[in-house]
Amino acid sequence: MNRSTLEGMTQNEIQRMITLVKAEGATDLDIERWWGMSQEERDSITQLSYTQRQALFMHFLGLKMTFWDAFRKVYESCTVYTEYSLAPAYSDLKGAGLGPEDYALPWELYHRIGNYGLQMATYGKENFQQQIKEFSSLNAFVRYKIKNGEI
């Protein structure tokens, strides 16, 4: 189920999507904020994120990292989102030594996670960097913070 647009989705598919993103910690406000943007705005954000991840991956490969080391480093360096079904594709992550807590997050959490990151970068950068080191990826860190009500 591609979620880049709601057009063409049945009511059951939309309800399933809402259930999945809420299971990841998204609130009604998160969902409204994401889907309240125009398709062009959502496309711009998703394309920029993808391009940044690709550039990072290529940079790490250029540093002579193995494919899986570069893949893991991308997950350590940035939040990874997905627009596809949120059923975790653990097999894609296993080769990099990553697990269920590392898989991609729903785009509906983009604004809330971004705001948290800006606050931490502004008011607690050193503490933020130290906390992240305790997790296998930035996504694992974010999931932990969401589950504990800190994001």
Domain ranges of the chain: 11-147
| Mean per-residue pLDDT of the chain | 88
- Higher-pLDDT residue of 127 and 64 is 64
Per DSSP, the three-state class of 8 is coil
Confidence of residue 61 (pLDDT cuts 50, 70, 90): very high
- In the predicted model, what is the mean pLDDT of residues 11-34? 92
Q: Could you tell me if 76 and 101 are in contact, meaning their C-beta atoms sit under 8 angstroms apart?
A: no
Rounded Cα gap, residues 74 and 24, in angstroms: 21
Q: What is the pLDDT of residues 85-110, one digit of tens each?
A: 555 555 667 777 888 889 889 999 99
Q: What is the pLDDT of residue 4?
A: 60
Rounded Cα gap, residues 95 and 97, in angstroms: 6
Rounded Cα gap, residues 134 and 98, in angstroms: 14
Q: What is the pLDDT of residue 121?
A: 85
Strand 105-106 versus strand 81-82 pairing type: parallel
| Res. 53: pLDDT tops 80 | yes
Q: Could you tell me if 67 and 76 are in contact, meaning their C-beta atoms sit under 8 angstroms apart?
A: no
- In the predicted model, what is the mean pLDDT of residues 70-90? 80
- Higher-pLDDT residue of 92 and 75 is 75
Q: What is the pLDDT of residue 100?
A: 84
